[in-house]
Amino acid sequence: MKQTVFEWLRVRLPLDIAWRRYFSHYYLAKNLNIWYVWGALALLVLVSQGITGFWLTMFYTPTIQHAFQSIQTLMRDVPYGWLFRYMHTTGASAIFFILYLHIFRGLLYGSYQRPRELVWIIGVMLWITMLLESVLGYLLPWGQLSYWGAQVITAMLGVVPYVGDALVTWIRGDFSIGQPTLQRFFAFHVIGIPVFLSLLTLLHLVALRHVGSSNPDGIKVPKRASPATRAFYPFFVLKDCLAMTIFLTIFCVMVFFYPHLGGYLIDPANAVPADPFVTPNPLTPMWYMAPFYGMLRAIPNKSAGICTMFTAMGLLFLLPCLDKSPVSSMRYKGLYSRLALSLLIISVGVLGYVGINEPTAINQLCAQVATGCYFFYFIGMPWYTRFESTRPLPEFLA
């Protein structure tokens, strides 16, 4: 009986073939290290965000009169409402923490190189879409930071020549952030963007499965059982499960004991209902946007600052063309690449610090230098990767 049911299913829906292709007979280099668990963790948090977000929708009212109150009711009166709200807010930060490490892995081991260009490009699209998703979601609680964050971000579109002001009004659906803005942000946050994110995630994974994961040595491994490879299931699945267990332990500690984490996960200014006449001081961006906000502050010209910020994000798309190195992994790249990557990490740290803290003269100067370093990593890449001496690649994985 059981056999017949499985046979009936197998003919119509070849799940066993999918299982073999994507799990039990999907072979990866055996030397994948801790840098290769972030993708699975990102997927875990994305699913968690989907579930908690779906649940939050049941209790949230997207009107400017009731939005703030509905969150307070959720936190105080709904059984366990605090739990899935904190899971959602902590999850938002967690996903960016994971994504930045995931992206760093790409830079470190050259995961964007041939033949994984499309995996990388879809990945960058995912990251930018998630930033957009977080901006949209941030308005929903209708607190002070929600309101003023949305105010500042939508106002950025005003720099578009000729149609800027009309564009801002069109996006807001009102002359300031109001009911139409809240309602459309809600629609995009809960339906529009998540559907798009799911599609991108699927494409990211399908493309990855086709070309196979990179590896810390950046050398080609056969896509079949061999001394250099291990099957995704059970070896890497179990490894990912271990990573998830450790991650979830830390995540639960954050959710249960440090849901605000000194304002980095939830800013205290957002405990005050939105007031269109008073801007909170200081107005700090979320930490995962702070480096780009730092660039905005570093450039003393409005249009140039905004263009710099978006260019800085967009440059990630171009990495596959910019890297001219004959090797992928930092293990075999030369001194210049190592220096450039170190410089990039330091400059992102400095920009993040400047983005969150009060702008002072010395901060501004540091941010300008850091912006320069950030751009050098990308713009200089075709040269410093070509003219450095690389180490010899091993023939095969030992």
Partner 1 sequence: MSDTKSPHHKPCEECERNESVDLERRRFIKISLKILGGLGTACAFFPFLSSLQPSRRTLAVNGPVSVDLSQLQPGQTLTVKWRGKPIWVVRRTQAMLEQLQKNNPELRDPNSRVPQQPSFAQNPWRSLHPEYLVLVGVCTHLGCVPRYHMQDNDHTQTSGFYCPCHGSRFDMAGRVYRHMPAPINLEVPPYRFVNAHTLIIGETL
Please report, as ranges, the residues that interact with partner 1 according to CB under 8 A: 24-25, 27, 51, 55, 58-59, 73, 76-81, 83-84, 225, 227, 230-231, 233-235
Q: Which is nearer to partner 1, 28 or 182 (CB)?
A: 28
Query: Residue 28 in 3-state DSSP?
Result: strand
Closest C-alpha among 348, 293, 54 to residue 152: 293
Closest to partner 1 by CB, 33 vs 72, is: 72
Q: How far is the CB of 227 from partner 1 (least distance, A)?
A: 7
Axis-axis angle for helices 290-298, 361-379 (nearest 10): 110
CB 31 within 8 A of CB 217: yes
Our measurement of the distance from residue 359's CA atom to the centroid of its chain's CA atoms, rounded to an integer in Å, reads: 26
Instruction: State the minimum distance, in angstroms, from the CB of residue 83 to partner 1.
Output: 5
Using DSSP's 3-state secondary structure scheme, residue 143 falls into strand
Among residues 90 and 337, whose Cβ is nearest to partner 1? 90
Instruction: Name the minimum Å distance from CB 267 to partner 1.
Output: 25
The residue (of 25 and 331) whose beta carbon lies closer to partner 1 is 25
Which H or E run contains 230?
strand 229-231
Q: Say if residues 392 and 219 touch (Cβ distance below 8 Å).
A: no
Write down the least CB distance from residue 85 to partner 1, Å: 10
**Cα dihedral across residues 263, 266, 267, 271: positive or negative:** negative
Residue position matching structure tokens 């196979």: 212
**Closest distance of CB 211 from partner 1, Å:** 20
Amino acid at 179: Q
Nearer residue to partner 1 within complex by CB, 86 or 127: 86
Q: Quick one: 55 or 147, whose CB is closer to partner 1?
A: 55
In the complex, least distance from residue 104 CB atom to partner 1, rounded to whole angstroms = 30
